[in-house]
């Protein structure tokens, strides 16, 4: 029997190690599809449709505000949000149809089309952007996803993914990192990076609850890395998923009709 020289064996071992170290995703479960995980995550957050009431708590060094908002979404292209409280902000509305977003200001009886350049602006003075709260990009189509690792966050087994925007995708971030529960792809953490790939915000999901058979994180806490004194929390008070929402809700006349 021919023996492989020791030098050749050493070279083969080094080459094997080089491949393992330099090939991303090696050593991870080969049947895990990053895009499919994003599709499942999106279903957890949206469902085919939903009608929910949330509290939006915004805290800064100088002031605190608490809003009550009704949010309705249908599929990927339609979203409607109406501020119910406090009285000073009551009636403000947001309507999204595909990539276009309008804001209605009842005190001025005026409707504004929010351009793509302002999608990163603060939503109601919070640490969420207009895109985060109302648009919610469909990550499975807007980003190329790579499975980086399998980890544990606070004892919960998760998949760690990196998302880079596809060319010409209507998104506002240069990169995202997401951590999803292995059991159901429910989101645990998102990290947001700007176009210069600087980490700017982190969103923490917690308190998973069952709303009529649909399990979703009920608390979303956004950390602002540029200003640690700030913070915003969204709490889902009640929600219905898979509910029938009429198309006439998602129209300009309905947006401008309040009460």
Q: What percent of the chain has pLDDT over 70?
A: 86
- Model pLDDT, residue 39: 95
* Distance between CA atoms of residues 117 and 113, nearest Å: 11
Task: Kindly state whether residue 55 falls inside one of the protein's structural domains.
Answer: yes
Identify how many contiguous H helices and E strands the chain contains and give both numbers: 5, 13
Task: Kindly state whether residue 14 falls inside one of the protein's structural domains.
Answer: no
Residue 106 belongs to domain with CATH number:
2.50.20.10
- Model pLDDT, residue 6: 47
**Average pLDDT score over residue span 249-253:** 96
Task: Kindly state whether residue 24 falls inside one of the protein's structural domains.
Answer: no
Task: Kindly state whether residue 19 falls inside one of the protein's structural domains.
Answer: no
Task: Kindly state whether residue 3 falls inside one of the protein's structural domains.
Answer: no
Structural domain harbouring 40? 34-255
Helix (H, G, I), strand (E, B) or coil at 52: strand
- Are 52 and 80 in contact, with CB atoms under 8 Å apart? no
Q: What percent of the chain has pLDDT over 90?
A: 73
- Model pLDDT, residue 181: 98
- Condensed to tens digits (0 to 9), the pLDDT of residues 31-80 reads 689 999 999 999 999 999 999 999 999 999 999 999 999 999 999 899 99
Average pLDDT, the chain: 88
Whether pLDDT at 247 is above 90: yes
- Model pLDDT, residue 11: 44
Task: Kindly state whether residue 5 falls inside one of the protein's structural domains.
Answer: no
In this prediction, residue 243 has a pLDDT band, given cuts at 50, 70 and 90, of: very high
Task: Kindly state whether residue 163 falls inside one of the protein's structural domains.
Answer: yes
- Are 139 and 163 in contact, with CB atoms under 8 Å apart? yes
- Condensed to tens digits (0 to 9), the pLDDT of residues 140-188 reads 999 999 999 999 999 999 999 999 999 988 888 999 999 999 999 999 9
- Model pLDDT, residue 99: 82
- Model pLDDT, residue 21: 38
- Model pLDDT, residue 24: 44
Task: Kindly state whether residue 11 falls inside one of the protein's structural domains.
Answer: no
Question: 3-state SS of the chain: helix, strand, coil percent to 5?
Answer: 20, 45, 35
Domain count along the chain = 1
- Model pLDDT, residue 27: 45
């Amino acid at each position: 029997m021919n023996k492989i020289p020791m030098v050749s064996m050493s070279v083969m071992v080094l080459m094997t190690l080089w491949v393992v170290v330099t090939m991303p995703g090696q050593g991870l479960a080969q049947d895990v599809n990053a895009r499919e995980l994003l599709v499942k995550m999106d279903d957890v957050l949206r469902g085919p449709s939903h009608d929910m009431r949330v509290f939006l708590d915004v805290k800064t060094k100088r002031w605190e505000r608490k809003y009550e908002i009704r949010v309705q979404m249908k599929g990927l292209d339609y979203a409607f949000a109406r501020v119910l409280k406090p009285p000073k902000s009551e009636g403000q509305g947001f309507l999204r149809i595909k990539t276009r977003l309008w804001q209605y200001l009842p005190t001025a009886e005026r409707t504004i089309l929010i351009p793509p350049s302002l999608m990163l602006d603060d939503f109601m003075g919070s640490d969420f952007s207009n895109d985060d709260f109302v648009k919610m990009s469909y990550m499975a189509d807007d980003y190329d996803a790579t499975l980086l690792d399998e980890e544990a966050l606070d004892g919960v087994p998760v998949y760690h993914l990196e998302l880079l925007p596809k060319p010409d995708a209507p998104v506002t971030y240069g990169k995202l990192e997401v951590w999803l529960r292995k059991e159901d792809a429910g989101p645990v953490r998102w990290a947001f990076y700007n176009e210069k790939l600087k980490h700017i915000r982190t969103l923490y999901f917690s308190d998973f609850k069952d709303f009529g058979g649909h399990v979703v994180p009920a608390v979303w806490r956004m950390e602002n890395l540029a200003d640690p004194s700030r913070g915003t929390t969204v709490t889902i008070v009640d929600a219905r998923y898979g509910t029938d929402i009429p198309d006439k809700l998602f129209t300009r006349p309905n947006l401008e009709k309040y009460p």
